[in-house]
Amino acid sequence: FFLGCGAQICRKSPMVYIAIVGKGDVLIYEAKLPGPSSGKVPPENQLQFIVHQALDSLDHKTWSGTSMYLKQVDTFNKMPVSAFVTAGHIKFMLLHSSSLEENAIKQFFYEVYRLYIKVAMNPFYLKNTPITSSAFNDRVRTSARNFFMR
Amino acid sequence: MSLHTKMARLGDSTFSTMEKVNSELLAMTYGALVTTLIKDFQDVKVVNTELEKMGYNIGVRLIDEFLAKTGVTQCRNLKETAHSIAKIGFKMFLGINAEVTWGADARQFSIEFKGNPLIEFVELPEKFKNLDYSNLLCGVIRGALHMVQMVVTTELRKSELKGDPVSEIYVTLKQHLAEKFKGEDD
């Protein structure tokens, strides 16, 4: 399975993948964001699977400390998965290249947290449903560009 | 000092003496109210009407607080009424500055405002694009004016939620009512 995809993933393209997972491991947002070039980019259909795999280590790490930023919780093919858990247990997960600075990731997560709160305060938004707001999408992308493309 | 400047000052000073409530709490309470109405009635048009009715009930009571707190006496003409609502009313109850623009004839005017605290955080989903979210405010104006013997119709013409740069409530005066007193010898 992994040998098979080795042939496909030798493109160098700027990519960072974010997924927001709610209660019951429901995916409520995902996006491929601008970011520093990663050596190997997993194909589209694997992204969700990778992030899903990391959920177990994430759950384990959540209770190991008191901060919301969990740093790296898992690795896939040398690409780290970093995570952030909100007070309401909404998980932000980022699949990125190892060259990305921890500080940048932390600040990016806090920015996404702020944006998520704004969405959650919308009376028309039901918790744990997919986030369809285009404003949210645009702002997440702008944040990624600001923090990851320096 | 022009009358309008005096009104703006009165609005500001009354606002500073009013008891305040957290605007996020207000926005979220109103949001919960609107979404519950939508869940109950399902139909956007009915919800719009209900919001207006609720506003009307608020307006008939609010006018007394307005007159008591500001000490404003009878307005001489519709222009003064319009400016009282915009400069004093909106300022003291919502904390926002509103402008009056005059309509097609002497009996119609618009109140334009930005930064409505009720719509904080709100994003209208596509299926509710015909929802007049702030319709409560239209009802408040209609109710308040009814108590001072003016029958008006109000309409939420523009809304920041629908992409317009400002929100606009269009008011049309239908008729003045004569004061009715109960006959003493009945």
> What is the mean pLDDT, run by run of 10 residues, along chain B of 186 residues?
89 94 94 96 95 97 94 89 94 95 92 94 92 96 95 95 94 88 66
| Model pLDDT, residue A49 | 84
Q: What is the pLDDT of residue A7?
A: 40
pLDDT(A14) > 70: no
Mutation for B interface: A124, A133, A137, A139, most B CBs within 10 A: A124
Is residue A19 predicted with pLDDT exceeding 90?
Answer: yes
pLDDT of A41 over the 80 cut:
no
ipTM over 0.85: no
Cβ atoms < 10 Å from Cβ of A9 = 14
Q: Is the pLDDT of residue A10 over 60?
A: no
Contact yes or no for B38/B44 (Cβ under 8 A):
yes
Q: What is the pLDDT at residue B160?
A: 94
**What span, in angstroms and rounded, lies between the C-alpha atoms of B21 and B26?**
7
A143 and A111 Cβ atoms separated by less than 8 Å = yes
Long-range contacts from A47-50, C-beta under 8 angstroms, 24+ separation = A47/A17, A47/A19, A47/A95, A48/A19, A50/A76, A50/A81, A50/A95
Rounded CA-CA distance A24/A21 in Å is 8
Distance from CA of B57 to the nearest CA of A (A): 23
- DSSP for A19-84, please give it: EEE-GGG-EEEEEEEEEEEES----HHHHHHHHHHHHHHHHHHHTTSS-SEEEEEEEETTEEEEEE
Chain B residue nearest residue A119, CA to CA = B121
B chain contacts of residue A125, beta-carbon cutoff 8 Å: 123
CB pairs under 8 A between A and B: 30
- Angle made by CA atoms A140, B26, B91, in degrees to the nearest 5: 105
Mean pLDDT across chain A, nearest whole number? 84
Is residue A6 very low, low, confident or very high in pLDDT (cuts 50, 70, 90)? very low
- Please, what is the Cα angle at A26 between A20 and A32, to 5 degrees? 35
Contacts of B35 in chain A (CB under 8 A): 123-124
From the CB of residue A48, how many other CB atoms can be counted at a distance below 10 Å? 14
Q: Which of B34, B121, B125 sits opposite A121 (nearest CB)?
A: B121
Q: Is pLDDT of A8 > 80?
A: no
pLDDT number for residue B184:
64
Mutation target among B30, B37, B121 for the A interface, most CBs of A within 10 A: B121
- Determine which of A114, A121, A131, A139 to mutate to test the interface with B (most B C-beta atoms within 10 Å): A121
Q: Residue A22 to residues A16, A85, A126, B123, B176: CA-CA distances in angstroms?
A: 20, 10, 12, 21, 57
* A122 pLDDT above the threshold of 90: yes
**pLDDT of residue A11 exceeding 60:** no
- Torsion, Cα B61 B66 B68 B74, to 10 degrees, reads -110
The percentage of chain A sitting over the pLDDT mark of 90, rounded to a whole number, equals: 40
- Is residue A129 scored above 60 in pLDDT? yes
DSSP B73-114: ---SSHHHHHHIIIIIIHHHHH---EEEEE-SSTTEEEEEES
Write out the residues of chain B at the interface with chain A, using a CB-CB cutoff of 8 A: 24, 27-28, 30-32, 34-35, 120-125, 128
**Which positions in chain B touch A122 (Cβ < 8 Å)?**
31, 121-123
Residue of B nearest to A133 (CA): B123
pLDDT at A3 exceeding the cut of 60: no
Collapsed DSSP state (helix, strand, coil) of residue A7? coil
Is the pLDDT assigned to residue A2 strictly greater than 50?
no
Q: Give B24 to chain A, closest Cα distance, Å.
A: 9
Contact B28 A121 (CB under 8 A): yes
